[in-house]
Structure formats: C-alpha cells, structure tokens
C-alpha cells in the first residue's frame, strides 16, 4: 500500500504502456447489440469525459478499454500500470509491449502493497484493501494530470463471484464503463477480435496474492515461488494454469485437456517446483477455475 515516500513513476510516451464485496450490485444487462455498436458505445462514453485515466494491467479487459480510449481521446487517455509485488513480471512485460505497439500514453507507478500490515495479513477482504489503496494512488496521479475520471475494465461478468474490490471501487468513485453499458467478458473478447487485437483470446489472469489461502500471510518469497512455478508451466505450453501455494504444497490447476500434459511432464515439474522451494507438488482434479480460494469462504455471498 502507499507509504509516505511518493511512488516511483516510469513513463512511456505515446510515441512508443470480508464481506464488503457482497454489497456490490451488478448493472442491469441491456438489449443485445452488434460488436461494432458496442465498440461505438464505449468510444462515445469515453469521448464524453474529455480526459480519462485508465487503470491498465495488460489483461483483455483493460487493454481493450485502453485501446478504445486512445482511439477516442488520443493522449488525453492516460494509462497507468500499478506495479506492486503481486503483479507478475510477465504481465508487466506484456502490458508494456502492447502499450508501445498501440502508442498509448502510459506510466508505470511502483509502490509496495506488502508494506501495509492489514493487506499482508491476507484477510478475506484483501482485494477490498488493495483497491482502496490503489485508488488513492490513481487519484493522486489523476489530480496531477487534471483528470477527473478514473476508469477500469470491470464488466458485468465480474459480478458473479465474491469481489470485494468492486465495492471499494464504487466507494472511491472509479468508473466502470463496460459494466455501465452492460458489456460482458464474452462481449469484450468478441469486440477485441472484431478490432483484430492480438490479445482477444488471452487467458484470464489475477494478482499473485490470489494464489495464497486467506489468512496465510503474504510474503515476497511465497509470491516469487508461485510466479516461478506458473512461468515454468507456461513454458511447457500450459496457457491457463494456476499454482496455489498451501504452505509448502503447490496445488496445480489446469484445464481438463491439459491434465495429460502435466502428467507427461510430472518429473521436470516436480524438480522445478522443489528447486523453487516447494516440498510437495499436487494436481487438483477439479481443474482450473478462477477464484478457487473463495470456495472455502462461508457467509461471503457473490456480488
């Protein structure tokens, strides 16, 4: 979370990128429109604001929003990457590469999430704490640039799980143009494909803290172990994979059709994971699913 020292800012010019969650209410879905209509709606909505700051991570949602914002506003669309210990280096590299290729007006802002003891304790409302802190950083940057509107890629599909961060965004006045316009994750992928954007089928991602069970304190060592393990799996061609760290046990989640690939490569996987510091390596027979750590929560309804 932000400390008394100002966050470190790296710029990329446009010439070159816990129950609080249950309070969030999903916007109503709107009548079906074509991809071109949806793109035009988002572009008009962004253009109407004059200047916007996009919370940009390089994922499908924020990347599409950033591209449409650039088309609508040019350099008056400022993309900001919040770079913390929980943000994978691979994701940062990909986000910057795409920002350069698209000519985004982009900044990287570095700050430590783990310096906040409440976040580091990894409670069930961890995402709420993170979004409150990141909103403070984004608001500071927006103020320096004279920007009133801070936006992100939240869409109506995000309201189907336990997402306390959405409540924090609402409290901080973060604008979700996709959600407001009734646009889903599937819509976003279709829109990106319509625009011939290379990331349209990019697997979903999440911050590294989501790999650690609630209540188990976060540390840079654990986050690095998880990141290294997931990078190794991707090197084997497993595009959609999660490594959940239960103490010194690595629990691997992959799609059903990739189970055979994991078993075929079990010996190199075991060696690599143990070199990273894990004592045991397990394959989750339920397979990959986003937010699997939420399955053990009781009394935390979906958004």
Based on the domain organization, do 184 and 214 belong to the same domain? no
Based on the domain organization, do 46 and 107 belong to the same domain? yes
Strand partners, 266: none
Per-residue pLDDT of the chain (303 residues; tens, 9 = 90+): 344 454 555 555 443 333 344 445 555 555 678 999 999 999 999 999 999 999 999 999 999 999 999 999 999 999 999 999 999 999 999 999 999 999 999 999 999 999 999 999 999 999 999 999 999 999 999 999 999 999 999 999 998 777 899 999 999 999 999 999 999 999 999 999 999 999 999 998 889 999 999 999 999 999 999 999 999 999 999 999 999 999 999 999 999 999 999 999 999 999 999 999 999 999 999 999 876 666 666 654 444
Please check whether residue 76 lies inside any domain of the structure: yes
Please check whether residue 279 lies inside any domain of the structure: yes
CATH code, domain with 284 = 3.30.70
Q: What is the SS3 assignment for 145? A: helix
Domain count, the chain: 2
Find how far residue 231's CA is from the centre of its chain: 17
- Cα–Cα distance list, 25 to 158, 179, 255, 303 (Å): 11, 11, 30, 6
Alpha helices in the chain (DSSP H): 35-47, 60-73, 89-102, 117-120, 126-145, 164-172, 177-180, 185-194, 220-235, 259-264, 266-276
Based on the domain organization, do 105 and 25 belong to the same domain? yes
- Kindly state the tokens that stand for 6: 């100002």
Confidence (pTM): 0.86
CATH code, domain with 83 = 3.40.50.620
The Cα–Cα gap between 206 and 253 comes to 14
Based on the domain organization, do 97 and 189 belong to the same domain? yes
Based on the domain organization, do 291 and 175 belong to the same domain? no
Based on the domain organization, do 176 and 215 belong to the same domain? no
- Cα–Cα distance list, 126 to 43, 134, 247, 267 (Å): 33, 12, 18, 35
E strand or H helix at 106, and its extent? strand 105-110
Please report the sign of the dihedral spanned by the C-alpha atoms of residue 46, residue 15, residue 87, residue 194.
positive
Q: Which residues contact 31 (CB under 8 A, 6 or more apart)?
A: none
Based on the domain organization, do 124 and 16 belong to the same domain? yes
User: Where a domain ends, among 166, 194, 222?
Assistant: 194
Based on the domain organization, do 65 and 160 belong to the same domain? yes
Domain that holds residue 252: 208-296
Based on the domain organization, do 138 and 77 belong to the same domain? yes
- Is the separation of the CB atoms in 294 and 210 below 8 Å? no
- How many residues are listed for the chain in this entry? 303
E strand or H helix at 249, and its extent? strand 249-254
């Amino acid at each position: 979370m932000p400390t008394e020292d100002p966050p470190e800012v790296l710029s990329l010019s446009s010439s070159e990128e816990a129950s609080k969650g249950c309070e969030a209410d999903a916007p109503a879905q709107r009548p079906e429109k074509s991809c071109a209509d949806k793109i035009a709606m988002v572009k008009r909505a962004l253009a109407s604001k004059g200047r916007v700051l996009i919370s940009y991570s390089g994922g499908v949602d924020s990347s599409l929003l950033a591209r449409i914002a650039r088309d609508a506003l040019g350099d008056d669309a400022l993309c900001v990457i919040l770079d913390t210990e929980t943000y994978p280096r691979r994701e940062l590299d990909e986000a910057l590469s795409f920002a350069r290729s698209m000519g985004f007006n982009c900044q990287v802002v570095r700050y430590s999430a783990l310096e906040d003891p409440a976040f580091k304790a990894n409670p069930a409302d961890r995402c709420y704490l993170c979004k409150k802190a990141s909103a403070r950083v984004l608001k500071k940057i927006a103020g320096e640039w004279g920007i009133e509107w801070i936006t992100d890629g939240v869409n109506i599909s995000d309201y189907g799980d336990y997402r306390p961060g959405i409540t924090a965004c609402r409290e901080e006045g973060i604008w979700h143009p996709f959600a407001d316009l009734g646009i889903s994750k599937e819509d976003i992928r279709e829109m990106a494909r319509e625009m011939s954007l290379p990331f349209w089928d990019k697997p979903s991602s999440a911050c590294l803290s989501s790999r650690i069970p609630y209540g188990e304190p976060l540390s840079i060592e654990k986050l690095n172990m998880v990141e290294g393990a997931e990078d190794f799996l991707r090197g084997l061609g497993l595009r959609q994979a999660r490594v959940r760290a239960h103490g010194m046990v690595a629990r691997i989640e992959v799609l059903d059709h990739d189970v055979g690939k994991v078993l075929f490569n079990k010996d190199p996987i075991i060696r690599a994971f143990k070199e990273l510091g894990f004592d045991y390596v397990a394959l989750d027979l339920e397979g990959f699913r986003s937010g699997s750590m939420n399955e053990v929560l009781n009394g935390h309804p979906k958004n």
